[in-house]
Amino acid sequence: MTKHVVTWDGKRRFTGTTPDGRAGRFDIPVDMGGDGTAPSPMEAVLHALAACSAVDVVAILEKMRCPADSLRVDIEFERAERHPKVFTKIQLKYVVTGEVPEKKLERAIKLSSETFCSVGAMLGKTAEITHEFVVD
């Protein structure tokens, strides 16, 4: 097993560190007792999902020889009302610029969601994850 470490930095702030020293911060909103200085752990999970899929889509489009000029993923979600308040619905909207044929973008998103994105595979156990895209 690989050892990662999460360290309490005071109040509701934490830093996660990888074995090779890369770090990410977590906090919670002020109204929940935090300082609001970084994403909450659940927000970080959403960001991880979007980033996981975005990495796949960028790489797949490059292999298809139609790289995007830019890519942004907008995220909307719903959570369960009771604890644990897992995600129940997640909508990812890919906003892409460049000369990217819609069919190829659709194929790249499908490959990511059905084959490559590990974060999506895990979250798909509790949430319905849907995808849409816009090419500007």
Classify residue 33 by burial, with Cβ atoms within 10 Å: 0-12, 13-18, 19+: exposed
Q: What's the pLDDT band for 113 if we cut at 50, 70, 90?
A: very high
Q: Give residue-wise pLDDT tens across range 12-36.
A: 999 999 999 999 999 999 999 999 9
Domain 41-135 CATH superfamily? K homology (KH) domain (3.30.300.20)
Q: What's the pLDDT band for 45 if we cut at 50, 70, 90?
A: very high
Q: Give residue-wise pLDDT tens across range 50-104.
A: 999 999 999 999 999 999 999 999 999 999 999 999 999 999 999 999 999 999 9
The span from the CA of 40 to the CA of 60, in Å, is: 30
Task: Give the three-class secondary structure for 69.
Answer: coil
pTM over cut 0.85:
yes
Residues 18/25, Cβ–Cβ less than 8 Å: no
